Amino acid sequence: MESTITAPELAAAKGKRRLVMVTASDEPSARLADRAGVDIVLVGDSLAMAALGRPDTLSVTLDEMIHHTRAAAAGATHALLVGDMPFGSYQTSVRDAVRSAVRLVGEGGARAVKLEGPRVPEIAAIVATGIPVMAHLGLTPQSLHSLGGYRVQGRDREQALSLIEKARAIEEAGAFSLVLEAIPSPVGAAITRAVGIPTIGIGAGPDCDGQVLVFADVVGLSEPPLPRFVRRYAEVGATIQSALEAFAADVRAGRYPAAAECYPTPPGLEEPPGFDSNGS
């Protein structure tokens, strides 16, 4: 069996090498990310927008996240597969948080879970069940309404110090890594220096211990407007659309299928059987 990357290995990588994480929502995206050699495949709740066409992440359910995590688990055989805990699956009680994490691992096949915010008791309780936890600070999209929109966080000294304190509490609770989203680069650097676990940035500057982007943004499947931190590495959306346009044109012009794309005719069927008025 192929060796897999573990959460303790990634925690120990801090300061030694930069970590690469990408999101995935199904077997093909997880397989391609895995073959590309990423360290972590995150089945992020951003799939609500990237794959399900929803306006935000709030409506995606635990059952839906388990469904997508299970599909991605079939493709991510080497990278650490992290399942994102959706809105409502851990905010209600520590008990609910543990139950949801157990389902993402047991039913979904995740090998770690991620949750948003400084949820110290929830993180400690999930870690105590033997499930590694990745935390998430800064712009936490599940708090969209209380943050007043998708806004850069940690923009003054007080907020920056508060983020550092939260990051330390998260480390103390036992998280093995920490996503930092949409904060100024010096704040990303300060948090990275302040904790002993790897930080993984998305719009948090170059000094984080690793970086993450959403699969659809990297390969060109998402539609503008895109966040400032996105870098496109391909335009596969345009490539896929042209392929489908060419297929449609070939069908309409009678060019598809060609003889080579049809099964050989068995002897005796060179003349197609006719149908008489009895339908035989």
| Binder of ligand KIV out of 212, 216, 218, 219 (CB under 6 A) | 212
Residue 108 to residue 106: CA distance in whole angstroms: 6
Residues 11-21 as b/e (b if ≥16 CB within 10 A, e otherwise) read bebbeeeebbb
**Binders of ligand KIV in range 149-188 (CB under 6 A):** 179, 181
Are the CB atoms for 208 and 195 separated by under 8 Å?
no
The residue number with the shortest CB distance to ligand KIV is 44
Find tokens 């770690």 and name the residue: 112
Q: How far apart are alpha carbons 84 and 66 in whole angstroms?
A: 9
Q: In terms of CB distance, is 26 or 45 closer to ligand KIV? A: 45
Which residue, 202 or 246, has its beta carbon nearer to ligand KIV? 202
Smallest gap from Cβ 119 to ligand KIV, in A, equals 14
Q: How far is the CB of 153 from ligand KIV (least distance, A)?
A: 14
Token pair in block for residue 21: 């994480």
Query: Site residues for ligand KIV, window 19-78 (CB under 6 A)?
Result: 23, 42, 44-46
Q: Which amino acid is at 245?
A: E
Positions 79 through 98 that interact with ligand KIV (CB under 6 A): 84
Per CB under 6 A, the list member of 191, 202, 204, 218 interacting with ligand KIV is 202
Task: Pick left, alpha or beta for residue 109 (phi over 0 → left; psi -120 to 50 → alpha; otherwise beta).
Answer: left
Q: How far is the CB of 129 from ligand KIV (least distance, A)?
A: 22
What distance in Å separates the CA atoms of residue 178 and residue 192, rounded to the nearest whole number?
9
Q: Number of residues interacting with ligand KIV: please give it, by CB under 6 A.
A: 12
Nearest distance from residue 57's CB to ligand KIV, in Å?
6
**Quick one: 145 or 252, whose CB is closer to ligand KIV?**
145
Interaction between residue 198 and ligand KIV (CB under 6 A): no
φ, ψ for residue 47, nearest 5 deg: -60, -20
Give the separation between CA 61 and CA 255, rounded to whole angstroms.
44
Q: Site residues for ligand KIV, window 123-142 (CB under 6 A)?
A: 136
Q: How far is the CB of 47 from ligand KIV (least distance, A)?
A: 7
Q: In a 3-state reduction of DSSP, which class is residue 196?
A: coil
Look up 181 and say whether it is catalytic: yes
Catalytic one of 181, 235, 245, 270: 181
Helices (H), 197-235: 215-219
Report residue 199 as tokens: 């930080």
Enumerate binding residues for ligand KIV (CB under 6 A). Answer: 23, 42, 44-46, 84, 136, 179, 181, 202, 212, 214
Q: Which residues are catalytic?
A: 181
